[in-house]
Structure 1
Amino acid sequence: MRYFKVGQDKSSGYTGCVEGNHKWSLPGIRRCPACNSTWSSGSLFYPSVDLSSVTSLGDFEEPRAEPIEEYERLRELARPLLPPGAMVKPGAEFGPLIGKAHGSFGSLVVPSPWLLLAQREALEKLQAEGLKGLKGCRTQLRFRQRNAPDLLELELLPVGRLHPGCLPPNREPPCPRCSRRGLTRPDDMLLDVSSLPNHLDLFRLEDFPTTMVCTDRFAEACRRLGLDGVAFQPLPDA
């Protein structure tokens, strides 16, 4: 099996622009008592999760940083509603993508390096190919044009890691209290093949969730079906 990093195809000529946020989010952590870091992941999205039944719902509506105890309280309220395999970190976002959009769009859309949207027809074609784990979720995007596309957000679960061989040898362990790792993603990535899933053809890395990864099955299906808007960068594994 070969793997690819999924990104925007900057040569496609599409002018589409998407600006928005998800309906709810966990707060970031302010001054962890163990490492003194203030941080938020900002790249874990679960658009299928509906928090409307959760108590203290208003506490999920404003992005901010909170003491770790408040983050942990809210995390435990959201945890039972998460899909199997979900990972929770400070700043994780839930519910539909809400905002505005305009311009022309390809079959697949990468508004940011860690967010992937698809036109409904394109997603249905991919699902018909038997690809594993493709879940499209409705967005709430307002368009400034007629004949607006029906864009769905693909929910990417965090699975798989980079091989230790491409990471700094003297890296510090994660914070024992907030789990912050403080690592910068290396330019030359090497996947840890033993950590990669066999039940998903599209996912994001667990240790660097800003990185969206697909199998050669997904990349080949896009090429064969003529689905555009994305570029595939080969990722070696070991």
Structure 2
Amino acid sequence: MRGWLSKDPAPRYTGNLNASHKWSLPGVDPCPVCDLQPEGGTSAQYPCVDLSGLPPEDQEKLLDSWPVPREEFIRRRELVRPFAPPYAVLESGAAFGPLHGTGLGYFGQLFMQNPWSLCMRREALERLQSTGVRGLTGCPTQVRFRTKHAPELRDIQLESHGRFHPDCLPPPNPSCPTCGVVMGYSVPDPYCLDAASLPQHVDIFRLADASTLIIANERLVDAVRHLELDGVVFKELEVR
């Protein structure tokens, strides 16, 4: 099965992170006609991208997510590009650098603070990688835990792939005559994925059409179940 990952709702999983990534791309001043952001937006996270090599004044500008003019956004995006992997989605909201902050509670082997982020205990990541699961790149977090047995969490960096099948989408909206942006759509309910758009080289990825969704294929789902790793559940998805 292909599955959408979500946090296991069982009461025993009390883990919580009060943490964030150090740098991010800001918002963009909206178009005065359609009120949309010209450069899109994403929930993609790249914890392995280290921007500490930038001059301090440039790093400072990547600490503030407040919307900026389009020209300034493009300038900041180009500051990041040399440090980011080729597959990175460099849109408003993209976050970079390891998680830093505090954590408390009980964490499963896999952990999702929200639907668009995935962490794993170090040993769980290593066990999955040893089975041949592809697409798992983990970065150590910089989180201080208020618990006796602190987990060694790895923040998982994912590629973006995959599209919704056209059959589950509404008719496309017209583009704005001023900025050219086309208004998007919310996640269809129910939704199905376009089989031709799904990656063959990774077993887990962020959905390109909805960056808040993390998708796993049969290989990863089977590995998690075989290794009896806990903390997340999989919702089976239709693929056409």
Q: TM-score range by the shorter chain?
A: over 0.9
Question: Partners in 2 of 1:175 and 1:6 — Cα distance?
Answer: 38
Aligned to 1:103: 105
Contact 1:51 1:57 (8 Å CA) reproduced: yes
Deviation at 1:139, TM superposition (A): 0.8
Partners in 2 of 1:174 and 1:157 — Cα distance? 29
Alignment of 1:1-20 (within 5 A): 2-11=1-10, 13-20=12-19
Over the aligned positions, Cα root-mean-square deviation in angstroms equals: 2.0
Secondary structure at the aligned position of 1:149 is classed as: coil
Alpha carbons of structure 1 residues 66 and 172: separation in structure 2 relative to 1, 3 Å: same
Q: Percent identical across equivalent pairs?
A: 43
Query: Relative to structure 1, is the Cα distance of residues 44 and 177 closer, same or farther in structure 2, using a 3 angstrom cutoff?
Result: farther
Q: d(CA) in 1 for partners of 2:132 and 2:21?
A: 28
- 2-structure distance, mates of 1:215, 1:157: 14
Q: Which shifted more, 111-120 or 157-166?
A: 157-166
Aligned to 1:43: 43
Helix, strand or coil at the partner of 1:111:
coil
Counterpart of 1:133? 135
2:160 alignment partner, SS class? coil
| Larger deviation, residues 180-189 vs 200-209 | 180-189
Deviation at 1:54, TM superposition (A): 2.2
Contact 1:12 1:228 in 2 (8 A): no
- Structure 2 counterpart of 1:202: 204
C-alpha deviation, 1:88, in angstroms? 1.3
Distance in 2 between residues matched to 1:44 and 1:108, nearest whole Å: 18
Mean CA deviation greater in 168-177 or 63-72: 168-177
Query: Structure 1 CA distance, aligned partners of 2:44 and 2:205?
Result: 11
Answer yes or no: is the 8 Å Cα contact 2:42–2:89 preserved in 1: no
Change (3 A) 1:174 1:161: farther
**Counterpart amino acid of 1:49?**
V
User: What is the distance in 2 between the residues matched to 1:178 and 1:64?
Assistant: 23
User: Is contact 1:190–1:235 with CA below 8 Å preserved after alignment?
Assistant: yes
Letter in structure 2 aligned against 1:156: L
Q: Tell me how far apart the structure 2 counterparts of residues 90 and 175 of structure 1 sit (CA, whole Å).
A: 22
String of CA shifts for 1:185-219, please: whole Å, max 9, x gaps.
11211101111100110101111110100011101
Query: What residue is the counterpart of 2:89 in the other structure?
Result: 87
Could you tell me whether the CA contact under 8 Å between 2:162 and 2:199 is conserved in 1?
Answer: yes
- The verdict on how the C-alpha distance between 1:11 and 1:81 changes in structure 2, with shifts beyond 3 A counting, is same
Work out the CA distance in 2 between the residues paired with 1:176 and 1:139.
43
Cα distance change, pair 179–33 in 1 and its aligned pair in 2 (3 A): same
- Separation in 2 of the partners of 1:104 and 1:25? 28
Contact kept? 1:175, 1:181, Cα under 8 Å: no
SS of 2:18 mapped into structure 1: strand
Shift of 1:84: 2.7
**2:119 alignment partner, one of 99, 117, 121:** 117
Match of 1:213 in 2: 215
- Preserved CA contact (<8 Å) 2:128 2:223: yes
In structure 2, what is the equivalent of residue 72 of structure 1?
74
TM-score by length of 1: 0.93
What is the Cα deviation at residue 180 of structure 1? 6.1
Secondary structure of the 2:61 match is helix
Residues 12 and 229 in structure 1, CA contact (< 8 A), matched pair in contact too? no
